[in-house]
Amino acid sequence: MDIPFSSSPEITSPFVFKTSLPLFSIPTNFADGDLILFTGLNSTTFPAVGNEGLITIFDNKNNLLGTF
């Protein structure tokens, strides 16, 4: 998988987080324990500006599955 970093220094780096119950994590509409790919955002703006780069996904044999 290839996730480009934003050219803007205000946008966070991409990361993966695991969802949890609202008391211990960020509330989401995903099931408890799901892994979420977060591509980055600037949380100082409203609405938040996100990383506009494309995400490229490959399988374990390096075949391109898609670019989103």
C-alpha span between 36 and 26 (Å, rounded): 11
pTM above the 0.85 mark? Answer: no
R_g of the chain, CA atoms, integer Å: 14
Per the CB < 8 A criterion, the answer to whether 25 and 33 are in contact is: no
User: Domain segments of the chain: what residues?
Assistant: 15-67
Strand partners, 67: 56
User: pLDDT (tens digit, 9 = 90+) per residue, 14-56?
Assistant: 888 888 876 766 677 888 888 888 888 887 877 777 877 788 8
Distance CA 28, CA 12 (A): 19
| Model pLDDT, residue 25 | 67
